[in-house]
A and B are shown apart, each in its own frame.
Chain A
């Protein structure tokens, strides 16, 4: 692996350029997307490509962590939070502080130039060291990590569990709605259904008509009359009931009655 890296062979160069292209594309998409969800998805693209680069640079553990934790879990949390805030609530484009956007763009470009040229000039003529020390000693990157975690950084590792506990406790404290009334069991529910004066059995099926066949039409009862009981509550709430053409119903009734009415 090491020899391959130092040789700088074609495969690695190719992987780098492909991943670099897609991560820069993702980063740009992250910035220019108007919708927060799109930005989040672009960011996932950046992260996956960075993970591939990490793996290609002999840091498989970092690559795996990037995919498992960041792309898999943290990005999903981002998405959930965005959806909690409202998917479509795109940021207002009105500047609250005058000249903020111009200043932001200038500072961003300045920072980018500083990073590219600063790091670029610092790294062009320097030889990379430490890869053998990190991956070679324990014959593997992940083994090396395990070595460090369980020897030099044992205490931070164990204390991390306190952090995880706090995170879970905090999520529960902030987001878990405890019930104040115990949940009704199925038996209690069925008792309540029969004890009340309502309709204990199944509600009627939606009506089936020649021109329309969906849940939003009232049921057709055996006696030829219609009832709104078959329509789901949310549809009723938003006024989505499709009225039945009563002339037709009456006509059908008339035909079935044999023209006696």
Chain B
């Protein structure tokens, strides 16, 4: 059998379980709706009105996401290096250290300029 068959079976099981749960709940559960039930629950006060256009996120999120991507891509390069580490020997180690140090420089910049602080 193919090595990926267990994964496939797992996937089918997971999907089946999720579908089964949702379906069962919706079929067997009582359905008595009133206005209060479909209201958003906000500690007893009137739900916060939706701002126009659905509201906008502060640009800080972008900064965080972008920095995440930068270091994420660094990790993608670490993956093959780590897998083939024994065959790259000292040379590969040096090259990876150079790569990490260069990216670390910008990490220092972000840290010193308070790019990592939320406020």
Residue pair A143, B63 in contact (C-beta under 8 Å):
no
| Residues of the B chain whose Cβ atoms lie less than 8 Å from the Cβ of A157 | 77, 95, 99
- Residue of B2, B5, B67, B79 with most partner-chain A CB within 10 A: B2
Q: Which residues does chain B contribute within 8 Å of A110, judged by CB atoms?
A: none
A172 and B115 within 8 A (CB): yes
Residues of B within 8 A of A145 (CB): 80
Q: Is the CB of B65 within 8 A of A84?
A: no
B36 at the interface (CB under 8 A from A): no
Query: Is B83 on the interface with A (CB-CB < 8 A)?
Result: yes
Q: Which residues of B contact A238 (CB under 8 A)?
A: 48-49
Cβ-defined contact, A84 with B8, below 8 A: no
Docked Cα-Cα span, A52 to B107, in Å, equals 33
**Residue A142 at the chain B interface, CB threshold 8 Å:** yes
Which one of A68, A212, A216 contacts B72 once the chains associate, using CB atoms below 8 Å?
A: A68
Whether A56 and B56, one on each chain, are in contact in the complex, defined by CB atoms closer than 8 angstroms, is: no
> Which residues in A have their C-beta under 8 angstroms from that of B67?
168, 171
Distance (Å) between the CB of A41 and the closest chain B CB? 15
Residues of B within 8 A of A140 (CB): 83
**B105 adjacent to chain A (CB < 8 Å):** yes
A192 at the B interface (CB under 8 A): no
Task: Kindly identify, within residues 39 to 78 of chain B, every residue whose CB is under 8 Å from any CB belonging to chain A.
Answer: 43-46, 48-50, 53-63, 65-70, 72-77
Q: Which of A117-125, A159-167, A219-227 is found at the contact surface with chain B?
A: A159-167
User: 1/0 per residue B65-107: CB within 8 Å of A?
Assistant: 1111110111111011101100110011001001100110111
- Per the bound structure, the CA–CA distance linking A214 and B41 in Å amounts to 12
Q: Are A164 and B54 in contact (CB under 8 A)?
A: no
Pick from B61, B72, B114: contact of A80, CB below 8 A: B61
B110 within 8 A of A: yes
Interchain CB contact under 8 A, B1 and A167: no
B62 lies within 8 A of A175 (CB): yes
A164 touches B103 (CB 8 A): yes
Cβ contact within 8 Å between B80 and A146: yes
- Minimum distance in angstroms from A23 CB to a CB of chain B: 14
Interface string of A217-246 (1 = CB under 8 A from B): 000000000000000000100101010000
B33 within 8 A of A: no
Known: A4-B3, A146-B80, A165-B106. A175 touches B95 (CB 8 A): no
A215 within 8 A of B: yes
Q: Which of B61, B70, B98, B114 has a CB less than 8 Å from the CB of A168?
A: B70
The answer to whether the Cβ of A147 comes within 8 Å of any Cβ in the partner chain is yes
Q: Are A73 and B72 in contact (CB under 8 A)?
A: yes
CB distance from A172 to the nearest CB of B (A): 5
Going nearest first, the 6 A-B pairs with the smallest beta carbon separation are A88-B54, A214-B44, A11-B2, A146-B84, A87-B54, A171-B66
A-B contact sample (4 more), CB < 8 A, given A80-B62, A157-B99, A175-B59: A72-B72, A83-B55, A175-B66, A177-B59
10 A-B Cβ contacts within 8 A?
Answer: A68-B75, A77-B69, A83-B61, A86-B53, A143-B80, A147-B84, A157-B95, A158-B99, A172-B110, A178-B113
